[in-house]
Amino acid sequence: SWTMTGVIEDQVEAVRAQVGDARVVCGLSGGVDSAVAAALVQRAVGDRLTCVFVDHGLLRKGEAEQVEQDFVAATGVSLKVVDASERFLAALAGLTDPEEKRKAIGREFIRVFEAAALEVVAEAGAHGEQVEFLVQGTLYPDVVESGGGSGTANIKSHHNVGGLPEDLQFRLVEPLRTLFKDEVRRVGLELGLPEAIVWRQPFPGPGLGIRIIGEVTRDRLELLREADAIAREELSAAGLDRDIWQCPVVLLADVRSVGVQGDGRTYGHPVVLRPVSSEDAMTADWSRVPYDVLARISTRITNEVREVNRVVLDVTSKPPGTIEWE
Ligand code: XMP
């Protein structure tokens, strides 16, 4: 079996050569790529890296803690956390169209990240240091897809942060540009990142915001987060993590169905299980999850999640269905 030691050593050298004495900033999403990119750069420049984690409140149960506690414990990285969930909920209020939700989430994300990055720049400036570089977890397939371009990113200031230039230019540091996903995971493991981060299944940037069909509210997020956690726990316990590409759990928030739970009739919401197998998410097949596993998920969700009284299974391939419902 081969290791990624050589790749890590080469990239550490390359990052040191690129950034010199400058400070570096990196956004963490909770996903594999940004975590591994950050850990690699941390190995290269130590405490001259500051990571920024924008918690949009749309992550799954335990994922924010994974970044704030487990990732920090594993790397010792200096992390700035911005809890922006209120702001995202406000931006999503009244929206039901999937693309409008995506736009609102993307727009808020950039605003919040820019403000946080500018704070990092201002703090460094107060110590007479400059932040010139932004880390991106770009992989080889992304490079090929986008035609190989790279270089700089503009962070535009929408607010007047004392004495800073209107537009800040960051140069990009992309230590994963030559790697495929499986190599990124190996690098992550060798850098000592927790398995839960390294083996995280794909999860969309807009998060649970596009897994609530209907308006996104705090209560609905809470329901979906609980149902999703149960499904993940049971699929993991059944040893299916590596067979299943991902398993969205979708809350049909505007649909109600009659049920009988405990002592009486309920009028609750269905959730949909969408387990798929896939190589690259371009096409997918619905996963043949064993009936006893499905039964455990269904029983637990309807017992443990207030207001969910029905669990249904999506048996559509992609195409014609997409993996996500929105
Ligand atoms: P679909 O639903 O198009 O999803 O079959 C294909 C893959 O992409 C993920 N996905 C997204 N990822 N932002 C993301 O970062 C998005 O808006 C988005 N929409 C879908 C999805 O989870 C699947 O892995």
The residue segments making up the domain with residue 148 are 5-198
One domain for residues 174 and 224: no
pTM: 0.92
The ligand 1 atom at the shortest distance from the C-alpha of residue 318 is 5
Domain boundary among 177, 198, 219: 198
The more confidently predicted of residues 314 and 2 is 314
Closest Cα to atom 18, ligand 1: which residue?
Answer: 204
The CATH number for 281's domain is 3.30.300.10
Looking at residue 39, its pLDDT comes to 98
Starting from the edge strand earliest in sequence, which strands make up the sheet with 167-173, in order?
78-83, 49-55, 23-28, 131-135, 167-173, 152-156
CA dihedral 173, 81, 56, 277 (to 10 degrees): 60
Domain boundary among 173, 198, 223: 198
Assign 49 to helix, strand or coil. Answer: strand
Looking at residue 146, its pLDDT comes to 75
Residue 33, annotated ligand binder? Answer: yes
Average pLDDT over residues 42-52: 96
Residue 34, annotated ligand binder? Answer: yes
One domain for residues 191 and 61: yes
ipTM here: 0.99
One domain for residues 190 and 221: no
**Cβ < 6 A, ligand 1 pocket:** 102, 202, 204-206, 246, 281, 318, 322-324
Q: Is the pLDDT of residue 192 over 60?
A: yes
Domain boundary among 198, 233, 253: 198
**Cβ atoms of residues 169 and 181 within 8 Å:** no
- Whole-number Å distance, alpha carbon 210 to ligand 1 midpoint, is 10
One domain for residues 186 and 61: yes
pLDDT in tens, 128-173: 888 889 999 999 988 887 776 666 776 655 444 444 455 667 899 9
Q: Is the pLDDT of residue 53 over 60?
A: yes
Average pLDDT over residues 210-228: 98
